């Protein structure tokens, strides 16, 4: 489950910034390895903002986990909810989750949403798509193109991020639904998997389990709760960030057909304190390229391509929930050589770069802002 208790370090940092704050108790500047970063409120008053995507005109589409999709103008003005979005299962960690633009959005205006959907036998993550009207007030012809199977009771570990590969395939990350973690070792279902589908929901014929050894849509399995996904800007490979149990949060580069070991192995421990075998003890499982223990609770991730942050080019940023930080993973190719925590004092749900290179972060909470960060010397 997501970690909800702030660390003592996060509390100390928050108190240290208490005399120099913006609205919502945020610091006006934060320290980083490249110097101070200026923090601005871009928009505020959102209900658990979860995922976001920039439109070609520079405005921002944002999902609220409670069920609304909104457009935020370049001036920070928040629209009324966009009509035509699906009904969501907004319980526990469920609700309206990620949003992504179709690779041909400029010509077809199609967007994709992932969300927790109530069904007769419980709830599960689904993905749908629809056409955004020109006024960005309604989503038309919305259709569900993928449903995680099986649906199960409970409100935890739905995933879910959306990422398009350079070839136009859609990756969807899916949680193992917490109480059903043993199912993550069975590739014939979608629990604890990354799936790969075509934009219309059909299955690519080169998927690894198309021969019947697993569910056709499954790309990789043995995952826990994957809430971060991004495509590497140079290699085109999918990278993901995944919650461990008590410790053991991971970054992976999911490969076709690979089993990532949950819950048989982990770099963390069960919440009860029970030990879990280390991944190195069972090399038949694919291992993470980096892990954290204690946990950072990673959610949305983004590669740094912005010219405003030249020292970070090619690194990976992660939104940290229990760590209340933006975490930078220092990369040399596919190798992680270290990390840096930029202490924010609030839970960060997602990170992304705007059209002018600024870093945007979604703050997690019932009445929360989106913030914008830039090097203070700019």
Q: Is the pLDDT of residue 19 over 70?
A: no
Could you check whether the bond before residue 117 is cis, i.e. omega within 30 degrees of 0? no
Nearest alpha-carbon partner for 359 in 328, 322, 321: 328
pLDDT value, residue 325: 98
Q: pLDDT digits over 122-142, tens only?
A: 999 999 999 999 999 999 999
CA distances from 287 to 103, 174, 306, 333, 347 (A): 31, 18, 30, 17, 27
> Which band of pLDDT confidence, cut at 50, 70 and 90, is reported for residue 165?
very high
Burial class (CB in 10 A: 0-12, 13-18, 19+), 185: middle
Asked whether the beta carbons of 24 and 49 are under 8 A apart, the reply is no
**Class of domain 158-334 as given by CATH:** mainly beta
The catalytic residue positions are: 157
Q: What is the pLDDT of residue 11?
A: 35
Residue-wise pLDDT for 88-121, tens only, equals: 999 999 999 999 999 999 999 999 999 999 999 9
What average pLDDT does the segment 167-185 reach?
98
> What one-character DSSP code corresponds to residue 201?
S
Q: What is the residue-averaged pLDDT of the chain? A: 94
Rounded to whole angstroms, the Cα distance separating 122 from 152 reads 4
- What is the three-class DSSP state of 231? strand
Comparing 212 with 114, the larger pLDDT belongs to 114
If you average pLDDT over residues 282-289, what whole number do you get?
97
- Residue 1: pLDDT band (50, 70, 90) is low
Q: How confident is the model at residue 23 (pLDDT cuts 50, 70, 90)?
A: low
Model confidence band, residue 238 (pLDDT cutoffs 50, 70, 90): very high
Of 26 and 214, the one with more pLDDT: 214
Count of CA atoms in the C-beta half-sphere (13 A) of 153: 0
Where along the chain do its domains lie? 45-155, 158-334
- CB neighbour burial string for 308-328, b if at least 16 within 10 angstroms, e if fewer: bbeebeebbbbbbbbbbbbbb
User: In the structure, what pLDDT confidence band is assigned to residue 18 with cuts at 50, 70 and 90?
Assistant: very low
Distance CA 9, CA 282 (A): 34
Coil, strand or helix at 11: helix
CB of 10 closer than 8 Å to CB of 327: no
pLDDT in tens, 307-350: 999 999 999 999 999 999 999 999 999 999 999 999 999 999 99
How confident is the model at residue 24, as a pLDDT? Answer: 53
């Amino acid at each position: 489950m997501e970690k909800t208790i702030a660390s003592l370090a996060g509390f100390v940092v928050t108190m240290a910034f208490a005399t120099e704050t913006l609205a919502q108790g945020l610091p006006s500047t934060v320290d980083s390895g490249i110097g101070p970063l200026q923090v601005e409120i871009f928009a505020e008053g959102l209900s658990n903002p979860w995922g976001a995507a920039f439109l070609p005109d520079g405005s921002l589409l944002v999902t609220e986990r409670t069920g609304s999709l909104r457009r935020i103008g370049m001036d920070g003005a928040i629209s009324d909810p966009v009509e035509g979005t699906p009904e969501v299962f907004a319980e526990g960690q469920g609700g309206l989750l990620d949003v992504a633009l179709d690779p041909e959005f400029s010509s077809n205006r199609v967007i994709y949403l992932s969300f927790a959907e109530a069904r007769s036998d419980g709830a599960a993550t689904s993905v749908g798509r629809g056409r955004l009207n020109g006024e960005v007030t309604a989503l038309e012809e919305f259709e569900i193109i993928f449903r995680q199977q099986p649906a199960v009771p409970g409100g935890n570990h739905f995933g879910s991020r959306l990422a398009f590969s350079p070839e136009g395939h859609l990756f969807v990350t899916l949680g193992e639904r917490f109480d059903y973690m043993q199912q993550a070792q069975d590739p014939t279902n979608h629990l604890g998997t990354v799936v790969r589908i075509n934009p219309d929901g059909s299955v690519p014929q080169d998927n690894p389990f198309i021969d019947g050894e697993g569910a056709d849509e499954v790309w990789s399995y043995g995952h826990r709760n994957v809430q971060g996904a991004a495509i590497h800007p140079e290699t085109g490979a999918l990278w993901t960030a995944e919650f461990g149990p008590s410790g053991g949060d991971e970054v992976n580069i999911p490969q076709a057909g690979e089993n990532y070991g949950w819950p048989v192995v982990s770099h963390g421990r069960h919440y009860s304190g029970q030990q879990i075998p280390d991944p190195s003890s069972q090399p038949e499982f694919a291992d993470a390229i980096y892990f954290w223990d204690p946990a950072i609770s990673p959610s949305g991730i983004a590669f740094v391509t912005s010219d405003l942050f030249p020292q970070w080019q090619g690194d990976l940023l992660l939104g940290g929930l229990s760590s209340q930080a933006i975490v930078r993973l220092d990369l040399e190719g596919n190798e992680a050589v270290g990390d840096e925590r930029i202490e924010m004092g609030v839970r960060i749900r997602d990170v992304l770069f705007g059209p002018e290179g600024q870093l945007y972060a979604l703050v997690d909470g019932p009445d929360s802002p989106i913030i914008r960060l830039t090097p203070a010397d700019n």
